[in-house]
Every structure is written in C-alpha cells, then in structure tokens.
Structure 1
Amino acid sequence: MKKLLVLFAAFSLSAAAASAQTTPVKAAHGRHMKGDKAAKTPEQRADHTAQALTKQLGLSAAQTAQVRQLALDRARQMDAHKAQAGTASPADKKQHRAAMQAEKAQYDAKLKQILSADQYAKYTQRQADKMAKHKAHRQGMKQGKS
C-alpha cells in the first residue's frame, strides 16, 4: 500500500512539473510589434528598404544611397503621421489619409527620377503584385468570417 501511495505522489508531482513547462504565448500583434520583435527605427527601415530594392532591382551604389535617403525621409514622415493619427477625429483622418496619399505620390515621383525606366517598371509591377496579393488575402479573410 505504501508503494502505491508513493508511486501516486511521484506521478502527481511529475504531472504538475510537466504542465508547468508550457511554451509562452506570443504577444498579441500590435501596431508596432510583430510577435516579440521590437519596432524598427526609421534608419533601420530605410536600410531595409534600400537593401531590398537593391536586391530586387539591381541598383548601383549611387542609386542605393539615394533610395536610402528617400526611404529615410519617408519613414520619418510615417512616424510623424502615426503620432498624429491616434488623437485624430474622423474628419481629420480623411485629411490625414489624403496627405499620406499625396506623400506616397511624391515618393513614387522621386523614386522614378532615381531609377531607370526598366527598374521603375519592375518596381511598379512588384507593387501591383503585392497589392493584388494583399487584396486576395483580405477577401479570403472576409469570406472566412462570414
């Protein structure tokens, strides 16, 4: 009987220890967090953009430097917009969105000046593909909820 009691106690303790060793749940996705990665600085985002475009479009060193500076300016603008967006009213949000679209158009115009015609065509095609993929994903999400 003692052996059975000791065996039962050992089993209970090992089960409790095993259940305590669960993997932590990832933090909820926030605006500036993906999983447990911290938000990147504007400089880091600009470097990432410049490196990605260099890899995708085959940019020269001079083009890479210009794209990095352009991306850095854009990242700083986006941070300023994000800071303002939290306290905006619905009417302000429409103006805010229009301002962001205008800045995106300026960014694209400046990028077009930096890139060659072939590089810019490839860039716009990649952007269109990315948008189509995003829309398809959103449609799939909407259908899944219905």
Structure 2
Amino acid sequence: MKKLLILLAAFSISAAASAQTTPVKTVRGQYQKSQKQDLTPEQRADRAAQKLTKSLNLSAAQGQQVRQLQLARIQQQQAYKGQAGPAAKADRKARHQAMKGQRAQYDAQLKQILSADQYTKYAQMQADKKAKHQAKRQNKG
C-alpha cells in the first residue's frame, strides 16, 4: 500500500513538473518571448540569407552577398530603433517615409544581386506575404 502511494505521489509530482515547462501564451496567443529577440544581427542575417537561398536557389556568391545586404539592413534598423523615442511618435509620417526609402534602397540593391527570374519570384513572395498580413489584420478587426 505504501509503495502504491509513493508511486502515485511521484507520478503526480512529475506530471505537475512537466506541466510547468510548457510555454505561457499571452492574451493574443503569442508566446511571451520570441525566438527572434534572442538572435544577434549576424544570426538574423544568416537566417534570412539561408531562407532566400533556399527559396530562390541562389548561388554561393549570391547567398553571401544577400547575407551582407541583410546584415547591413538589420544594423540600420537597430540604429533607427535606438533613435526612436517618445518624441519620435509625433513624427510618424517622417519615420514612415524614411522606412519606405530604406526599403526601396534594399530592393534596388537586391535586384542587382538576383537574376531577373529570381527577383520576380522574390517580388511575388513579398506580395503574397503582404496580402496574407492584410487579410490577417482585416480578420482581427
């Protein structure tokens, strides 16, 4: 009888311990800490370059160029976020225009690296991603 009680107690403790290790979700269903936040700019650039290399069949040289472009973009974004503060909220339109300009510059540089077919496929992927995002936003509100 004692052995049975000990086994039951051990089982309930292990079940409770394993239940504690599951990630906690916030109100919107997102995990509290994103894995993207833990990555260094170099790791993020590597991940983005690998994703584009795989989806667009880039050569090794193209992959390295895309990685360097991504790294520069990520570092520029971090510097921009560092400048943003409470006063920057009032200047939202100017920030939006600056980000549009940065995006256009990135796309122009990427177009020089990729072939015409690869860039067309990239543009289609971006359009699909934008449409998916807009559909998701419309479903929320």
TM-score (normalised: structure 1): 0.75
SS in 2 for 1:26: coil
- Report the counterpart of residue 130 of structure 1 in structure 2: 129
TM-superposed CA distance for 1:84, in Å, is 1.9
Does residue 80 in structure 1 map to residue 79 in structure 2?
A: yes
Which is helix-richer, 1 or 2? Answer: 2
- Report the counterpart of residue 3 of structure 1 in structure 2: none
Distance in 2 (CA, whole Å) between partners of 1:46 and 1:37 is: 11
Once the two structures are superposed, residues 44-101 of structure 1 have per-residue CA deviations (whole angstroms, 9 ceiling, x without a partner) of 1110111000000000111011100000000001111222223333332321221111
Distance in 2 (CA, whole Å) between partners of 1:88 and 1:54 is: 39
Does residue 109 in structure 1 map to residue 108 in structure 2?
A: yes
Gap regions ≥5 residues in structure 1: 1-9
Does residue 41 in structure 1 map to residue 40 in structure 2?
A: yes
Q: Judge conservation of contact 1:67–1:114 (CA < 8 Å) in 2.
A: yes
Once the two structures are superposed, residues 98-133 of structure 1 have per-residue CA deviations (whole angstroms, 9 ceiling, x without a partner) of 111100000000000000000000000000000101
- Report the counterpart of residue 20 of structure 2 in structure 1: 23
- Report the counterpart of residue 52 of structure 1 in structure 2: 51
SS in 1 for 2:80: helix
SS in 2 for 1:119: helix
Q: Judge conservation of contact 1:46–1:75 (CA < 8 Å) in 2.
A: yes
- Report the counterpart of residue 94 of structure 2 in structure 1: 95
TM-superposed CA distance for 1:17, in Å, is 6.1
Gap regions ≥5 residues in structure 2: none
Percentage of identical aligned residues = 53
TM-superposed CA distance for 1:40, in Å, is 1.4
Cα 1:82–1:30, aligned 2, differ >3 Å: closer, same or farther?
farther
RMSD, aligned CA: 2.9
TM-superposed CA distance for 1:42, in Å, is 1.0
Q: Judge conservation of contact 1:67–1:111 (CA < 8 Å) in 2.
A: yes
Q: How many residue pairs get matched?
A: 132
Cα 1:43–1:121, aligned 2, differ >3 Å: closer, same or farther?
same
